[in-house]
Amino acid sequence: MSSLVRFGVSMEKDLCDIFDQFIQEHGFNNRSEAIRDLIREKLSLEKGFKSKEVMGTVTIIYNHHFKNLSENLTEIEHSFQRNILFSNHVHITHDYCLEVIVVKGMEKQLRDLTNRIGGQKGVLMALPSFITADIRWEDQIDVSC
Ligand code: NI
C-alpha cells in the first residue's frame, strides 16, 4: 500500500453542506474516504477512452455575471469549432444560464474542451455525456416488436 498524503481542501460552505449530506446518504465514514472514492471514479472514467471517436453533449451551467466569462466561453468554443456541431442557450434564472453543446470528435479533445469550460470561474457545472460514434445500435437495442 502506498503512503498517505495529506492536503487541505477549500470549498464554499453551501457546497460542503451538500457534500456532507452526500457522505451521509452514501454511508462513507468521513470526507477523506468520499473524496478518494470520487477521485477514483473520475479518473477511471477518463482512462481508456481518449483515443476513441465519440459524440454527445457537454451541458454547462454558469453565472453570466462573472467578469469576462461569456467572452471566455465564446473564445473557448471557437477554438473547438471543428468539434462543436451546435449549442443551445437557455436563461434559467436572472443570473444563471444553461447551455447544451453538441459535440463530436476524439474523446480526449472533448474532455479538454469540457475541462477548459469547467475550469472557468463562474461555471458551476460542465457535464460531459459521450457515446462512441461508431456504435451499432442494432447490437445494443432490441428493436423487434
Ligand atoms: Ni443566459
Cα(55) to centroid of ligand 1, in Å? 25
Nearest to 62 by CA among 10, 127, 17: 127
pLDDT at site 127: 95
Q: Which single residue is written with the C-alpha cell 471514479?
A: 41
Cα(70) to centroid of ligand 1, in Å? 9
Per-residue pLDDT in tens (0 to 9) along the chain, 145 residues:
678 889 898 999 999 999 999 999 988 899 999 998 888 777 766 665 556 788 899 999 999 999 999 999 999 999 999 999 999 999 999 999 999 999 999 988 999 999 999 999 999 999 999 887 555 555 555 555 5
Cα(80) to centroid of ligand 1, in Å? 21
Answer whether 0.85 is exceeded by the pTM.
no
Helix (H) or strand (E) holding 74: helix 69-79
pLDDT at site 4: 86
Show me where the domains of the chain are located. Answer: 13-46, 53-132
**The CATH number of 53-132 is which of 3.30.70.1150, 3.30.70.600, 2.30.40.10, 3.40.390.10?**
3.30.70.1150
Q: What is the CA radius of gyration of the chain?
A: 18
